[in-house]
Structure 1
């Protein structure tokens, strides 16, 4: 199998974008007022007896109901950048200050609905996942990456787009970092074409849903996309934890070497772009062409000041 480089705007280096403000979009005061008005309208339209159930399911938070006359066209450009451009955008200035947790959820859902379709998360099919340290042990087989404060390896989420709205940052740490997985892929093709071929073979992954066979599945790290390009699904933590199953074969020497190379490249300063997410920052990432990570963090002792992000999964198909 001959693997070739993938060209296009998704092939970028973090070192070239650190001083480039084009990937940041700051909301104007008009945009912020529109968001607050849309949040109020979205909640007012839900009758009180069914408010919690409807808002929790996200059924009423649609693009048509969450009207954003001037911000809507901006979010359509965000969608275009995600699907046809670099694959990431940072929206800044979402008015989360003073909003209740529920209203922050509504704002996140409404903004995301202008970018893509909401994908349910977790066993309960929640439209919004709360990312905060629950004290979970990161070494436990069922612990998810959003449940602890430890460092995360570079990975992609299992949907077209992941969006993260920062409500509160940590006391220290918790920095978000992004790399172009296309650029990493191309570097592997140039320097180790033998390992590039290994990335297109089946790999065992762990869903961390339990110890039964349904928790484990095979999927290539790299796959050709219809119409051209490449989709890259990587997560070293979940690949390594798949080894806990007696039915999963050990990683081959070539696989170990390929993972080591990917981890070296994704942590190379040439590729990484770091973001210190502040309250009101809404990060959008295309999981097919980017990988993201987070540094370990230390929280405030007061529960009301602890790090809190809202995660949404979106489809753009």
Structure 2
């Protein structure tokens, strides 16, 4: 079948978007006071994390701005960055409430584990990245470009690394369209079933198939890619070897996602909160060198649905 180029504002190049003000929002002093007041009210009232919603975390002045952020993430370029969340004036429990409270204005909270786990603390635990069941947030090595399995992923930076740990964002739509333009034969492979690894165990339930790209009725395309989880799926007894076409497609995707034309780099600092649309962008991270305890790199990750 002939694959068409995807439509919509989700297609961008780094040089076009880098200086754009549409995706960067700086909180002012009034916004920060409003966030702190909402955090303290939630902490005093004590609702369960999954019960935090806009009506529980009211932001009369910042809320309308967050609605525009949601539009940019869902129907615009596919990402946004809040700057100035007052994490330096919060406890660890309040950090969690702030992340959930700000995020609930973007979408509904999605569990990140087999139980009701509303968020994950991203820290280097010394886990070996070469082990097939190691999670990407558990080590300090480089992360290849990928998308998370929800509509939106958010990262709230509490402390950056000593060096490195840069966030890398590319338009998966632009990469898709470049593949369609230059290698239409491999573009077709994106829409075929691929084996993936849930990394939940050794049995067949840990492995499943889905295409990397799914067309939408509006002419856009939803793109889901995680090369580490595709490669680790090869450990499954039920999983066939990658085909030559799949290997060539992955090699080309890796080259394109690392092409400077496509890569927007963000150096997340204390109080930055990044939102990424997993259907429109892929993200990665450079390796990092950490501070000693207790000042090690620390982020909070949240998943949301926007449907």
1:286 is aligned, of 273, 277, 285, to: 277
Q: Matches of 1:111 and 1:98 in 2, distance apart?
A: 16
Contact 1:94–1:281, Cα closer than 8 Å, also in 2 = yes
Contact 2:145–2:284, Cα closer than 8 Å, also in 1 = yes
Superposition map of 1:199-278 within 5 A: 199-278=190-269
Aligned length: 307
Structure 1 position 67 matched with structure 2 position 58? yes
TM-superposition CA deviations, 1:83-110 (whole Å, max 9, x none) = 1100100110011003111100000000
Equivalent residue of 1:250, what SS?
A: coil
TM-score normalized by the length of structure 2: 0.98
Superposition map of 1:128-139 within 5 A: 128-139=119-130
Q: Matches of 1:69 and 1:98 in 2, distance apart?
A: 21
**1:142 shift after superposition:** 1.1
TM-superposition CA deviations, 1:202-252 (whole Å, max 9, x none) = 000001111111110000001112433101110111100001112100000
- The equivalent residue for 1:314 is 304
**1:69 shift after superposition:** 0.4
**1:148 shift after superposition:** 0.6
**1:16 shift after superposition:** 1.8
**1:151 shift after superposition:** 0.4
- The equivalent residue for 2:186 is 195
- The equivalent residue for 1:51 is none
- The equivalent residue for 2:98 is 107
**1:184 shift after superposition:** 0.2
- The equivalent residue for 1:9 is 9
Equivalent residue of 1:90, what SS?
A: strand
Q: Matches of 2:92 and 2:131 in 1, distance apart?
A: 29
RMSD, aligned α-carbons: 1.0
Contact 2:22–2:72, Cα closer than 8 Å, also in 1 = no
**1:2 shift after superposition:** 1.2
Task: Give the direction of change, closer, same or farther, for the CA distance of 1:227–1:8 in structure 2 (3 Å limit).
Answer: closer
Identify unmatched segments of 5+ residues in structure 1. Answer: 47-53
Contact 1:31–1:71, Cα closer than 8 Å, also in 2 = yes
Equivalent residue of 1:21, what SS?
A: coil
Superposition map of 1:165-180 within 5 A: 165-180=156-171
Runs of 4+ in 1 over 3 A off after TM superposition: none
Q: Matches of 1:154 and 1:129 in 2, distance apart?
A: 19
Q: Matches of 2:50 and 2:202 in 1, distance apart?
A: 33
- The equivalent residue for 1:25 is 25
- The equivalent residue for 2:112 is 121
Structure 1 position 184 matched with structure 2 position 175? yes
- The equivalent residue for 1:305 is 295
TM-superposition CA deviations, 1:53-90 (whole Å, max 9, x none) = x54xx133111010100000011111111111001001
Q: Matches of 1:19 and 1:122 in 2, distance apart?
A: 37
Q: Matches of 1:298 and 1:167 in 2, distance apart?
A: 16
Structure 1 position 142 matched with structure 2 position 149? no
TM-score normalized by the length of structure 1: 0.95
